[in-house]
Chains A and B, each alone.
Chain A
């Protein structure tokens, strides 16, 4: 899955182009699909993910909204309940905190609270990605908060194939989905565009190995692969891309750990009370007597994401720190 233009295939899109293509394909196929968000229409999105869609589908289906995230997401919930399939964009994942009510109290709960009477087929599209000195309010990975809420699905694609397949699946789903992109992957062209699509809820073995299982998702998949490549002569690392946190492919994770006997979970989100702890709990419950050592989580250190490049490097996991963690897990 390393960046490999030569082998990716002639028509293989960049990660961001796969997102754009999924949006365009679903808009073309289903009149109920509409996009709404800040700067997504005429402007094409702050990173260009929606470029060209306003011209193709018009201002009533690709809606530029005021900077009013709670209003926009609330309106998305209402539009979904009334028969549309909105894809509502939250420009930076950090901005989730100004519009949590429509996500947590409305979209996630309405179907259950109404005994199935109401359906909220909405996609909350957002992106994160530390490591570019964007500062603490434009860099944080918050997928753990979302995965904690019953009623929300959480998808975190790591390459163009999954970016396309998971977004198309999210738009077609009858339940709310939080779709989390990583902006540091936007300009990447990955191998594997021609592989068969996998549905949400299925992890993917990105690399097979016998000594340690690593569970990861999003951009960290690529950092883990780099670390595994560096250690290839001394350690055989199996890498599982979870792809979706909800639903989580617990069976595949447990089966891999049961076979290797060792487990490291890597994520860009802060380690403390993070999604890795939840996965570790499930690994312990499912594979305790197959373990040869402690299950470890390697995530961001517990600080707001710092601005200075030197501090941000120290904050986030990268191939070097992952290699250290892998060595430790393999020998404990």
Chain B
């Protein structure tokens, strides 16, 4: 492992461990009743988030899903403000009005997580129109799951992006489960890549648990899109090691399958590279820093006040 590779690996390791530490605390505080409603964590999918967001500029746009904490953190969102949002507090990133599924940050180009499966796809296409109009090489990255590929929004949003040749990267995180349903059982033919490619855009597939492979694929697609190359589709093959939502009893999943994927934990793979490659990098120190940062995020959320009832009708807009 070269020095440059080590620095890059360590940065991606930092992003992934920050996401994991955030999500572990989300799960814990959901169990303890601090987090309300329902919440979806992305444990196991950190490489897709960290790898895909690495080539993005601060001004690039991002749309994400109900499972979007990792994407928002990788794009630069503040974990304290995110955790406070999940706790329903006034200092939350949305003032406590959105919750887990509606994290957004305009100044970071995050056009929102979304509670409607597939909804972010046409939104990304539209943001692509704005990016194209700006003419400064801005791109849009849309995260969605393989379950969304069945939705009309995918068909219309991707079709429109191809027709308009907008700079949008459609990143499909194939985590093998659409909520409770094994994607293979719901799939039929043709396979994912064949279906995506049929829309007329470059479609490729990468090991979504290999952060560097994801980063390289997305960087190539982003570079092309920045210079007028139009939209592209990348499948990141990964696995949801958590339930669909916190508290999911997972009667639909074979424990042996989960155990096999745990052997391919994206964070452990990078740790092994860092530690066994003789790089001298201190993975443990990075992990401790991530844990401390997310502990502070929880402390901030705990200490923050709930929104005042007087803010109920603020920002409705009509």
Shortest Cβ distance from B118 into chain A, in angstroms? 9
How many A-B residue pairs have C-beta atoms within 8 angstroms? Tell me.
Answer: 164
- A247 near B126 with CB under 8 A, answer no
Contact with A along B28-47 (1 / 0, CB 8 A): 00000000000000000000
- B160 near A105 with CB under 8 A, answer no
- A111 near B315 with CB under 8 A, answer yes
- Residue B302 at the chain A interface, CB threshold 8 Å: no
Q: Which 4 pairs across A and B sit closest by C-beta, in order of nearness?
A: A71-B156, A74-B122, A78-B126, A115-B95
Shortest Cβ distance from B92 into chain A, in angstroms? 7
Shortest Cβ distance from A41 into chain B, in angstroms? 12
Contact with B along A42-85 (1 / 0, CB 8 A): 00000000000000000010010110101111111111111110
Set of chain A residues within 8 Å of B96, measured between Cβ atoms:
115
Interface residue from B125, B159, B314 paired with A116 (Cβ < 8 Å): B314
Interface residue from A75, A110, A151, A246 paired with B122 (Cβ < 8 Å): A75
**Which A residues from 81 to 129 make CB contacts under 8 A with B?**
81-84, 86, 101-102, 105-106, 108, 110-118
Given the interface pairs A112-B97, A150-B318, the reply to whether A101 lies near B125 with Cβ below 8 Å is: no
- B130 near A118 with CB under 8 A, answer no
Given the interface pairs A66-B159, A71-B160, the reply to whether A83 lies near B130 with Cβ below 8 Å is: yes
A229 to B152, CA, bound (A): 51
- A117 near B106 with CB under 8 A, answer yes
A119 to B315, CA, bound (A): 10
Residues of B at the A interface (CB closer than 8 Å) are: 61, 63, 92-98, 102, 104-106, 111-112, 114-116, 119, 121-134, 140, 152-153, 155-157, 159-160, 163-164, 314-318
Closest A residue by C-beta to B90: A115
Set of chain B residues within 8 Å of A151, measured between Cβ atoms:
316-318
Closest B residue by C-beta to A82: B130
Shortest Cβ distance from A164 into chain B, in angstroms? 21
- A75 near B160 with CB under 8 A, answer yes
- A116 near B131 with CB under 8 A, answer no
- B152 near A70 with CB under 8 A, answer yes
**Which A residues from 287 to 330 make CB contacts under 8 A with B?**
none
Set of chain A residues within 8 Å of B97, measured between Cβ atoms:
112-115
- B112 near A74 with CB under 8 A, answer no
Interface centre among A60, A77, A81, A153 (most CB of B within 10 A): A81
- B106 near A84 with CB under 8 A, answer no
A287 to B157, CA, bound (A): 49
Closest B residue by C-beta to A175: B317
A176 to B317, CA, bound (A): 8
Shortest Cβ distance from B109 into chain A, in angstroms? 8
Set of chain A residues within 8 Å of B115, measured between Cβ atoms:
105
- B157 near A111 with CB under 8 A, answer no
- Residue A19 at the chain B interface, CB threshold 8 Å: no
- Residue A239 at the chain B interface, CB threshold 8 Å: no
- B318 near A176 with CB under 8 A, answer yes
Given the interface pairs A60-B133, A246-B318, the reply to whether A78 lies near B92 with Cβ below 8 Å is: no
**Which A residues from 138 to 171 make CB contacts under 8 A with B?**
150-153
Shortest Cβ distance from B134 into chain A, in angstroms? 8
Closest A residue by C-beta to B162: A66
A210 to B144, CA, bound (A): 60
A187 to B230, CA, bound (A): 42
Given the interface pairs A71-B153, A82-B131, A106-B119, the reply to whether A114 lies near B104 with Cβ below 8 Å is: yes
- A102 near B93 with CB under 8 A, answer no
Given the interface pairs A83-B130, A175-B317, the reply to whether A115 lies near B123 with Cβ below 8 Å is: no
Set of chain A residues within 8 Å of B315, measured between Cβ atoms:
111-112, 115-116
A108 to B116, CA, bound (A): 14
- A117 near B104 with CB under 8 A, answer yes
- A70 near B116 with CB under 8 A, answer no
- A118 near B106 with CB under 8 A, answer yes
A66 to B155, CA, bound (A): 12
- B129 near A34 with CB under 8 A, answer yes
A-side interface residues, number (CB < 8 Å): 45
Given the interface pairs A83-B130, A175-B318, the reply to whether A78 lies near B95 with Cβ below 8 Å is: no
Other contacts beyond A79-B126, A83-B130, A114-B104: 16, CB < 8 A: A34-B133, A68-B160, A73-B122, A74-B121, A74-B125, A74-B153, A74-B157, A75-B160, A77-B126, A106-B114, A114-B94, A114-B97, A116-B315, A151-B317, A151-B318, A152-B318
- A150 near B316 with CB under 8 A, answer yes
Closest A residue by C-beta to B315: A116
Set of chain A residues within 8 Å of B121, measured between Cβ atoms:
74
Interface residue from B124, B140, B159 paired with A68 (Cβ < 8 Å): B159
Shortest Cβ distance from A38 into chain B, in angstroms? 12
Closest B residue by C-beta to A149: B318
Set of chain A residues within 8 Å of B316, measured between Cβ atoms:
111-112, 150-151
- A101 near B156 with CB under 8 A, answer no
- A78 near B63 with CB under 8 A, answer yes
Closest A residue by C-beta to B161: A75
Given the interface pairs A74-B157, A118-B111, the reply to whether A105 lies near B126 with Cβ below 8 Å is: no
Given the interface pairs A81-B127, A106-B119, A116-B315, the reply to whether A75 lies near B98 with Cβ below 8 Å is: no
- B112 near A114 with CB under 8 A, answer yes
- B157 near A71 with CB under 8 A, answer yes
A90 to B315, CA, bound (A): 26
- A78 near B124 with CB under 8 A, answer yes
Interface centre among A81, A115, A150 (most CB of B within 10 A): A115
- A105 near B116 with CB under 8 A, answer yes
Closest B residue by C-beta to A88: B126
Set of chain B residues within 8 Å of A81, measured between Cβ atoms:
106, 111-112, 123, 126-127
A109 to B111, CA, bound (A): 13
- B93 near A117 with CB under 8 A, answer yes
